[in-house]
Amino acid sequence: MLEKAICISGGLSVFKVSESVSFAAFNNEKPYTIMTNTSFLSQLGIENQNSGAAIGGHWIRTKGQSITSFSPVDGKSIAEVTLATKEAYDEVINAASAAFNDWRMVPAPKRGEIVRQIGNALREKKDPLGRLVSYEMGKSLQEGLGEVQEMIDICDFAVGLSRQLYGLSMHSERPLHRMYEQWHPLGVVGIISAFNFPVAVWAWNSMLAWVCGDVCVWKPSEKVPLSAIACQKIVKEVFEANDINGAISGLVIGDASIGQHMADDSRVALVSATGSIRMGKSVAAAVGKRLGKTILELGGNNAVIITEQADLDIAIPGVVFGAVGTAGQRCTSTRRLIIHESRFDEMKQRLAKAYSQLRIGDPLDESNHVGPLIDKQAVAIYFSAIQQVLDEGGEAIVPGGVMEGGGYESGCYVKPCIYEMKRHYPMVCEETFAPILYLIKYKEIEEAIAIQNDVPQGLSSAIMTNNLREAELFLSQKGSDCGIANVNIGTSGAEIGGAFGGEKETGGGRESGSDAWKAYMRRQTNTINYSRELPLAQGIKFDL
């Protein structure tokens, strides 16, 4: 096995990355050789980084502890990053607050021009950034590149939006008065993102916030710090080229305490938090206590209903991708399959056959379907969930397990698995961030919808059917209670043009498209009196 040593200056350590690793196929354990090339790190300028806190292009030297970013691909350390301290956090927030005073006065279309240039910079860096996302997080290369494409797409969306921040004009009940509403930027937007989408969720928030006139401070997951550092370097170059104060983009890499500081901080007008339900409830309580604003995009326990009239040739790939894509670590991953009793046995057989053809291995090898879980803690949670499923009476259709042997030394590669369950089993209501799929049988469509809705989460949902009545019922007021409801496509793969988010314990927030931009601005109603009188409300008169 060849190894390549790369020296990193400052607070980042020397690390070694495997260039040639042997992996095995899931279906027959036959070894094959793939290549992992880490030149993308130098292309992104990572080797010169030594701090986890930044104000635009200025990197703050902090006295915080160091963490090591490990790749779940091969278990090797990539680099060390010094975490932001409370003092560094305050420095970033203060700089952002000051920068807001100037940035909000820049006309929105000109703010859009800066975002347009960021989109072009991302196009130039798409390949190395996508490879870094794949290597640091563990998702497939196709998904890593796709995540960067989402960033580019939201830039394009935001550029158009910069000329469409519309208010309404309304008729006043008073003569010779004009009444209308307009939207103003909020101020500092704090962004807390999760490991599973290391860069896209930040872009969803920051690009919209920037065209709205806000400034952003980003706290990424400390499990994927290098992806965040790469993004900060990319936007820094655009700001400098346009003589823009880089403090409109701040970065604070830290543990949960930094997120808590952000939630408690009255200088942060809006906190957009993506992650677990537990984390979201903590953020909501802290921000709510100071009457701040939040966008919460939390857990998902997403289901696909397979009806008696479903086209299984469409359903199978949609379900498999939804269940095993990103190794089941998407908030929109398919976790429950609610199948009509007449199609249940056929679905079991076809799913088992499809799963036998999955290839598990280095996600940078495009011939593989499934990469690793993020770390060994995630593997432990995976095994704990399976044990609970078996204890409750779940029946294995495709059993789980960890991949062993050459190429799987990181210990983070697990087998996508399927278990037949009853709707009342407690684990059916739990979200496990792993490729575990539950199959549940139903008789009537109303029962299927009730099962779909009978969980605390409400993010994404889907129905596979060629029956128009079933499809319309699913989309009606009596249908899915999720923020996303699809017909004849899976639960994952949302487009940026639509607002993204869910209900119930998913948090109720909306990001990305449609009119999600309104969450980043404050509404103001204006009335102008251009008469020579001052009529009072409700006809009240004062003799003065």
Selection from 243, 266, 40 nearest residue 141 by Cα = 40
Q: Which of 80, 136, 147, 297 is catalytic?
A: 297
pLDDT of residue 143: 96
What separation in angstroms does the CA of 354 have from each of 35, 184, 219, 316? Answer: 26, 51, 39, 8
Active site residue 297: yes
Element at 418 (helix H, strand E): strand 417-420
pLDDT of residue 50: 63
What separation in angstroms does the CA of 498 have from each of 165, 197, 204, 434? Answer: 16, 18, 12, 26
Q: pLDDT of 193-226, one tens digit each? A: 999 999 999 999 999 999 999 999 999 999 999 9
**Least confident window among 19-28, 80-89, 304-313, 487-496:** 19-28
- Of the pLDDT bands very low, low, confident and very high (cuts 50, 70, 90), residue 46 is confident
How does DSSP classify residue 483?
S
Q: pLDDT of 334-377, one tens digit each? A: 999 999 999 999 999 999 999 999 999 999 999 999 999 999 99
**Least confident window among 6-10, 434-438, 516-520:** 6-10
413 vs 425: CA distance, rounded Å: 27
Q: pLDDT of 93-148, one tens digit each? A: 999 999 999 999 999 999 999 999 999 999 999 999 999 999 999 999 999 999 99
Burial class, 399, CB count within 10 angstroms (exposed 0-12 / middle 13-18 / buried 19+): exposed
Q: Which of 155, 216, 331, 417 is catalytic?
A: 331
Mean pLDDT along residues 380-406? 96
Whether the per-residue pLDDT at 531 is higher than 50: the answer is yes
Mean pLDDT along residues 56-78? 90
- Of the pLDDT bands very low, low, confident and very high (cuts 50, 70, 90), residue 47 is low
Active site residue 7: no
Whether the per-residue pLDDT at 31 is higher than 90: the answer is no
88 vs 389: CA distance, rounded Å: 45
Mean pLDDT along residues 38-53? 79
Mean pLDDT rounded to a whole number for the chain: 91
Would you say 114 and 108 are in contact if contact means Cβ atoms under 8 Å apart?
A: no
Mean pLDDT along residues 392-419? 95
> N- to C-terminal Cα distance for the chain?
93
Whether the per-residue pLDDT at 168 is higher than 50: the answer is yes
Selection from 210, 208, 216 nearest residue 190 by Cα = 216
0.95 surpassed by pTM: no
Whether the per-residue pLDDT at 503 is higher than 60: the answer is yes
Give the strand pairing for 436-442 and 334-340: parallel
Whether the per-residue pLDDT at 28 is higher than 90: the answer is no
- Who wins on pLDDT, 18 or 385? 385
3-state percent breakdown (helix, strand, coil) of the chain, nearest 5: 40, 25, 40
331 vs 195: CA distance, rounded Å: 11
Task: Report helix, strand or coil for 184.
Answer: strand
How does DSSP classify residue 514?
T
Task: Report helix, strand or coil for 292.
Answer: coil
Would you say 53 and 253 are in contact if contact means Cβ atoms under 8 Å apart?
A: yes
Whether the per-residue pLDDT at 48 is higher than 70: the answer is no
Whether the per-residue pLDDT at 26 is higher than 90: the answer is no
Q: Which positions ≥6 away from 534 have C-beta within 8 Å? A: none
